[in-house]
Every structure is written in C-alpha cells, then in structure tokens.
Amino acid sequence: MNGWLDITGMGAPVTVQDGGRPGQMHHGVPAGGPLVPELLVAANRAVGNPRGAAALESYGRLALRVRGRTARISVDGRSFTVADGETFTVPAPESLAVRYIAVDGGIAVPEVLGGRGTLLVANLGGHQGRALRPGDSLPLGASLGPPDAQSPEVRLDAQAPVRVTPGPDLERFDSTALPLLVGSDFTVSTVSDRVGMRLRGAAIPHGDEGTGTSRPMARGAIQVTLSGEPIVLGPDHPTTGGYPLIAVVIRADWGRLAARRPGAHVRFASVSVEEAREAWSHRAAELGLSMER
C-alpha cells in the first residue's frame, strides 16, 4: 500500500495525464500527453518523479486529501509536504489555462496501451476512462527518491509568437492564405479543448471544398475549416482528417500555445524545418526528454 489521493472537491474538469502513449496511431489512438508539457515536467521534477509520470491536469480549483502516507506534492513545480489524512486546496489557474499537481511516486492508475493518461474521447486510461469527480480515490505509487535539484528551470513564455512550419497543403490554399496566417492576430476561442484549439480572427481563404483525401493527423497541425477558421490540433486529436493543413506548430512551442486561456492573443511566425528541429533539440534537452519521445 503506497497511499491514496482523494478528490474532495473541484471547480472545473480534472483528468489524470502523463507523458503520453506514442506509437498507437495504427490503433486509432492519438499519442495524448500533457496539454502543456513544460508544466507536467516541472511538477514531476519537484517531487523526484520521472518526467512523464502520471499527475493531475486541472482547469480550476481543486480540493484534495492524502491518505495512507505522508506525500510530497508539487503544483507546477512548487512543492510542499502533506501529512497522512491532511486536506489541501489547489487554487484555479490564474494566468495559464491549466496547472499540474504531481505526487511523489506518481498516480498509479493502470497502464492502458503503454500510458496512464486519460483519453476522454475513447473512455480510455486514467481513472475509469473519465474525468475525475469528488469522491474518487486515486492510488499512489512508491516514492522514487528526492527531487532533481540539478535540473535547470523549465521556462514557458505563453505570450511569445508561436512558430510554425508552412504546409503540407499550401497548394489547396489561396496565395494570400499563409501571409494572412502569420500576419494576423488571433484569439483563443472558448470552444477549445484537448482535441483542438479553435482560433478567432481573420478567415483563411482556400478553394478546398472538403474533397481532400483523409490522411494521418499530428499534434500541432493547423486545419482550416470551410469557413476559414483555423483549428490547431491538440494531444487528443483525431488520428485522421480531411481539412487542408496550412501549417504545423513546431513541437518546441506546443506548450507555449496550449497554455493560453480563452481570449488570449495568438500570433504565428514561420520558420524552416531545420529551425524547428533545432528548437526541439534545445527544448528536449531542457525538459530532459529524448528527441524521439
């Protein structure tokens, strides 16, 4: 017995999320993973967990109780100790869309297809494949050791321009489309979730009428609907899609974009594939992740 984390109250959706389950696209299962990778890494580092250990991804106020042992808790990298039977409250995110609550040893829900994270669209993973509710109790893993004090600070700039690589479907767009995408200000729509972030702003012109061949999708791909609305695919994106793709958010900037709350401003900047690879190389080293993960 390594203890339990009880959910005693909440003000917004909460799920169990981890580093993801890559390699399952052929089963129709997206890689998933944290909405904001930097915050999950920071939370886990602060309690001595592996970078991708399962933790809570919370959009609002959250009340919790530790039961069965004393635990080290981290909220976005700020850690503290909670005694057996003690309750504590995590405030709602203030400047960012979500926050991550990690416990030493991780949330020990069962692995499904190589990951513990919740995929709501498939009722898979996490705690019974669903969002958490007051009264739920989550098993805790065994503590693995002290925090990683030697790791560099994880930085997240959620106001900077979001870098994209153009394509792959530029031939399906008007010649003015890409300059409009990178030259306009957008705002995050309230109709956004882990599947995709909808952006309000300039309509992106294209002559495609939805006749394109369905193809595999990836996180960060920017689909453009028939009305010209951009949708940036998130961690729980569909595995295939037919809307044309005007650009792809580079992996190093996934968290930079996804951390923004509804109403926040978004501006894009075009970079080359080589620049995108270099940016991810630096980001992966900072987060302590492999380039392949």
- Of 39, 96, 257, 30, the closest CA to residue 164 belongs to 257
Q: Model-level pTM?
A: 0.93
Is there a contact between 174 and 205 (Cβ–Cβ < 8 Å)?
yes
Alpha-carbon span 282 to 257, nearest angstrom: 18
Indicate whether 147 belongs to any domain: no
pLDDT mean over 116-142: 96
Indicate whether 132 belongs to any domain: yes
203 DSSP 8-state letter: P
Q: Are residues 95 and 179 in the same domain?
A: no
Q: Are residues 109 and 46 in the same domain?
A: yes
Chain segment 148-196, per-residue pLDDT in tens:
655 667 788 999 999 999 999 999 998 999 999 999 999 999 999 999 9
Chain segment 15-71, per-residue pLDDT in tens:
999 999 988 888 889 999 999 999 999 999 999 999 999 999 999 999 999 999 999
Q: Label residue 138 by pLDDT band (50, 70, 90).
A: very high
206 DSSP 8-state letter: B
Q: Are residues 194 and 247 in the same domain?
A: yes
Q: What percent of the chain has pLDDT over 70?
A: 94
Structural domain including 61 reads: 4-139
Indicate whether 154 belongs to any domain: no
- Residue 208's pLDDT is what? 63
Q: Are residues 8 and 121 in the same domain?
A: yes
- Residue 27's pLDDT is what? 82
Q: Label residue 210 by pLDDT band (50, 70, 90).
A: low
C-alpha pair distances (Å), 274 with each of 16, 221, 254, 267: 34, 17, 17, 21
Alpha-carbon span 84 to 3, nearest angstrom: 9
Indicate whether 157 belongs to any domain: no
C-alpha pair distances (Å), 266 with each of 93, 154, 260: 19, 21, 8
- Alpha helices in 15-155, H assignment, sequence order: 37-45
Burial of residue 245 (CB within 10 Å: 0-12, 13-18, 19+) is buried
